[in-house]
Structure 1
Amino acid sequence: MRLPAALTDIFRRLETVTLAVIMVIAAALWAFVAIASEMLEGDLHAFDEAVLLALRTPSDPSNPIGGHQLEIAMRDLTALGGVSVLTLVSLVVLGFLVLRGQRATAVFVGIAITGGLVLSYIMKTGFSRPRPDLVPHGVDVATASFPSGHSMMAAVTYLTLAVMLARSEPLPRMRVFYIVVATVLTVLVGSSRVFLGVHWPSDVLAGWMLGAAWALGVWLIARELGHRRQIEPDQADEA
């Protein structure tokens, strides 16, 4: 069966990298939907409990493994996904872009991160999953559990900032550096939420998937806007 000529032309115009990113976004969204579906049906309860208990002393579930110092470190790491820290980091990067003369990009990034925050709020409100009550909470929490807001917003913010900073960097190794740092920060924030007992593991996985899909979608839109000169173009393309 042959594809229509118009559809064939679209595929020819799309770059390999763009197609790969679209596939990753689709996979991440599929994973989020699958996790959400399994969560609503209660099929993830055994998995969630097993992971939470694995991070606790077998004789005393109220005591996390690794001792008091590790728990303090996890509280420090979880703060990297809080609204205050993410806002501060975002403002610093936006200021950097403005000083570099990339004002249109700065506005675009600000809108993208704000949009991710709104999406996170809508998702939390829509699912309204209760927080874990299996172990004591290591930090105070006030909102619903699914998806993890810290995990999602860490992915949205750090990965979005990373891909947008990478666009202004012609050196491939620096681009990789931005992405790796953002990914590590995102993983640490999400892992800390499970360790501290304030999120089920499935909450964090869902937050990562949705946040990563959002950041990659932002990159695709930025790439198209850059080609149209509506924001500053990708430096690699310019080179």
Structure 2
Amino acid sequence: MRLPQSLSRAFVFNLLFTLGFGVVAILVGDKNINAFDASVTRYIQGKESVEWTRVMKIFTDIGSGVPVVIITIISMTFIHYILHHRRELVLFITVLVGSEILNVVLKAIFHRERPTVHRLISESGFGFPSGHSMGAFSLYGALVFLLWKHIPVLWGRTLLILISVTLILAIGISRIYLGVHYPSDVFAGYLASGFWLMTSISVYQRFMERFHH
């Protein structure tokens, strides 16, 4: 039986995300990525200044705690009461909760310690993969998928993409800048979250196709 084109694309992306994460995990385990981590960290932290530190702390705060709760509640309210899409709300919640659970599981498996040199903020727990990076990718990735078709103009869709990509990258970079994650932690977080997001969307689309038939 031939798979629908959307599911075929999802399979390819999921394969790439899985392979990518596997490669990074192996390199981390063998410590063959240490030179890459050190080089990227040195470059990013080389930009340190009072102003940049203030900006990076803002972005890292956006990626957790109260700001994420506020953004999530606003998004859920909009999806449910304005768009009247209860099934999309289930997808949104599934992506966010599943991403958090996956991060906890992966950190428990890999037990990678965080950087100990040049920390600008305090952070506890294991570092691989980055929870902030996974959360940002899942939250803003899900919002792009859910809001895209409701934006009728090209400039609006372009703005949605730009804002989402900027926030995802800025939150990840802030974790490296502030010294609480290695670059490979952040990159692995994007890959793991990308896998979960695509899996969730694929299941949702499959369900919707069956529901409408």
The percent of aligned pairs where both chains have the same amino acid is 24
Output the CA distance in 2 between the equivalents of 1:51 and 1:89. 30
- Determine if contact 1:28/1:209 at 8 Å carries over to the other structure: yes
Please, which runs of 5 or more residues in structure 1 have no aligned partner?
1-8, 58-64, 231-239
Given the alignment, which residue of 92, 95, 103 partners 1:112? 95
Instruction: Name the residue aligned to 2:148.
Output: 166
Please, which runs of 5 or more residues in structure 2 have no aligned partner?
none
CA offset digits 1:20-58 (Å, max 9, x no partner): 33212211111011101110111111111122222345x
Given the alignment, which residue of 22, 34, 39 partners 1:50? 39
Output the TM-score relative to the length of structure 1: 0.81
**CA drift at 1:197:** 1.0
Aligned residue-pair number: 211
Report whether the alignment pairs 1:84 with 2:66.
yes
**CA drift at 1:112:** 2.4
Output the CA distance in 2 between the equivalents of 1:148 and 1:127. 12
Output the CA distance in 2 between the equivalents of 1:169 and 1:10. 31
Instruction: Name the residue aligned to 1:223.
Output: 205
Provide closer, same or farther for how the CA distance between residues 216 and 175 of structure 1 changes in structure 2, counting only shifts above 3 A. farther
Output the CA distance in 2 between the equivalents of 1:176 and 1:155. 17
Q: How does 1:21-100 map to 2 (within 5 A)?
A: 21-57=10-46, 65-99=47-81, 100=83
**CA drift at 1:216:** 2.1
RMSD over aligned CA atoms reads 2.0
Specify which structure has the bigger relative contact order, considering alpha-carbon pairs within 8 angstroms and separated by 6 or more residues.
2
- Determine if contact 2:79/2:86 at 8 Å carries over to the other structure: yes
Report whether the alignment pairs 1:185 with 2:174.
no
Of 17-26 and 92-101, deviating more is: 17-26
Instruction: Name the residue aligned to 1:4.
Output: none
Output the TM-score relative to the length of structure 2: 0.90
Code of the aligned partner of 2:90: V
